[in-house]
Amino acid sequence: MTATAANPRYFTSYSGIKPPLKLVGELMPDDMRNRNTYYRGSFDDAGQLLVCEKIVYGETELRHDYRYHPDGKLAQAAIDDGSGEPTIIDHPA
């Protein structure tokens, strides 16, 4: 199933250190009842991660926004750690 911003998917964690993060441990809606911390991911129709948020007690603690080149490679990552100054990382084509 592909998610959109209106239809996010939920995960327990991520792997990797370079953007885009790889979300792992997908959670089903019934799994969400007792979760205090989880990752919410929104994907495009091609399955590329567009937005990744770390949710802690209902609040967004960390957010990554990704844009891609037409060939599918990462073009830009905007990382907001809640400081009010997102870090922008550009990836040339």
Q: Quick: pLDDT tens for 44-78.
A: 988 999 999 999 999 999 999 999 999 999 999 99
**Quick check: is 4 in a domain?**
no
Domain total in the chain = 1
> Domain containing 14: what range?
9-90
Alpha-carbon distance 89 to 93, whole Å?
13
**Quick check: is 44 in a domain?**
yes
**Quick check: is 3 in a domain?**
no
**Quick check: is 40 in a domain?**
yes
DSSP bridge partners of 51: 42, 65
Please tell me the predicted confidence (pLDDT) of residue 29. Answer: 81
Which letter, b or e, does each residue of 2-38 get, where b requires 16 or more Cβ atoms within 10 Å of its Cβ?
Answer: ebeeeebbbbeebeeeebbbebeeeeeeeeeeeeeeb
How sure is the predictor about 6, in pLDDT bands with cuts at 50, 70 and 90? Answer: low
Bond before 20 cis per omega within 30 degrees: yes
